[in-house]
Amino acid sequence: MLHSPLTGQPSTGAKRHSRLKFLPAIGCFAILTFCLYFAGESTGQDPALANAVMKANAFLETLNDKQKSKAQLEFDSGKKPSWSNLPVTMVPRNGLRLGELTAPQRAAALESLAAVLSKDGYQKVIDIMNADDQLVKGANPMGFGTEHYYLAFFGKPSAKTPWMVQFGGHHLGINVTLVENRSVVTPTHTGTQPDKFTRDGKTVRPLGPENDLAFQFVNMLGAEDQKTAIVGDKPKNLILGPGQPLKEMAPEGLKCSSLNEAQRAVLLNLIAAWINILPKDSAAARLAELKGKLGETHFAWYGPTTNGSPAYYRIQGPSLWIEYAPQNGTSHIHTIIRDPSNEYGKSLISR
């Protein structure tokens, strides 16, 4: 079950009235959704893309003109790189803040976000925001918590022309560019603080797979390969994190052409922890591309190899850059995924 950080439920006295008042509208909306979905199938249009376009436009229709001018920017706007891992009081974000929306608008905003992500990808976003909620103390001068995440669209949501969804706040910067039936998630930052918390009596680790699969992989390597992969004994910070311009970097660590089948499978699963933020078809296509280039990919490790220790790693390939960097221990994590050849979908757009 997906956990939403925003409820906005009406009072008991208002619930019955609102159900009766909006029942015809809900029925019409359901019929419209049904028709658009199957119209997309009958015309050969990707149903997932049709749904994403519909949910984005449905959210925009809930906004007044002033709100819409903040939420929707030109596709080629120079504001596109204005996102960060830092608190929103330190680096302003594009778009509309969830906390300034009405309950129906917030619900529509999150539905439009979920429509461009996989189920697991959307849950990761919710988990990161819920982790940020743990930092809210008193007056909250730093702007932590789910109320301080922003949603923006670049371009007009369309099945024919490129557009982009940007969503983020503290420790989150999701950028999904949609070009017809393909979507691209680079560049995107995921992070968490704390690295684990309790929700509904269960422990939640927003970036658990990114940690556990990495330690599994580095400890699967033979002695010589592990020696090559481990570049330093202490973790380091992100090199190409949010706000950092792309630059040429010589590969470090182990070239993965020497991996056996089991090692390759775990490394691909580790990479998928970022790629699977996207819907199934786009994620599968991207992972197939990366699998074909795995022999040209390098894996570099800084730090101890015992799970639970702070360690940095980097996965660098011809069209892939992933970094995982703990911040002064293991309870505060920053990560980045980039593709120098396809930032904000540029290679798909140029085709």
**Residue 1 placed within a domain:** no
**Residue 86 placed within a domain:** yes
Give Cα separations from 133 to 23, 119, 120, 272 (angstroms): 34, 21, 20, 26
Burial pattern 98-120, b for ≥16 Cβ within 10 A else e, equals beebeeebbbbbbbbbbbbbbee
Say if residue 280 is in the same domain as residue 211.
Answer: yes
Say if residue 175 is in the same domain as residue 212.
Answer: no
Say if residue 132 is in the same domain as residue 217.
Answer: no
Q: Residue 348's CB: how many other CB atoms inside 10 A?
A: 16
pLDDT single digits (tens) 199-251: 999 999 999 999 999 999 999 999 999 999 999 999 999 999 999 999 999 99
What is the predicted pLDDT for the residue at 44? 57
Map 134-189 to HEC letters: CCCCCCCCCCCCHHHCEEEEECCCCCCCCEEEEEEECCEEEEEEEECCEEECCCEE
Could you tell me which residues come within 8 angstroms of residue 288 by beta carbon, excluding any fewer than 6 positions away?
A: none
Say if residue 210 is in the same domain as residue 289.
Answer: yes
Say if residue 250 is in the same domain as residue 328.
Answer: yes
In DSSP terms, 317 is beta-bridged to 320
Average pLDDT value for the chain: 90
Q: What is the mean pLDDT of residues 91-97?
A: 97
Q: Strands 150-154, 96-97: parallel, antiparallel or unpaired by DSSP?
A: antiparallel
Domains contained in the chain, number: 2
**Residue 173 placed within a domain:** yes
Domain that holds residue 101: 12-180
Residue 32 pLDDT more than 70?
no
Out of 165, 180, 195, pick the residue that ends a domain.
180
Q: Residue 298's CB: how many other CB atoms inside 10 A?
A: 18
**Residue 7 placed within a domain:** no
Residue 12 pLDDT more than 70?
no
Say if residue 216 is in the same domain as residue 127.
Answer: no
Q: Which of 351, 247, 257, 236 is nearest to 303 (CA)?
A: 236
> Apex CA 328: angle with CA 190 and CA 86, to 5°?
40
pLDDT single digits (tens) 47-93: 999 999 999 999 999 999 999 999 999 999 999 999 999 999 999 99
What six digits make up the tokens of 2? 């997906």
**Residue 226 placed within a domain:** yes
pLDDT single digits (tens) 163-177: 999 999 999 999 999
Say if residue 24 is in the same domain as residue 159.
Answer: yes
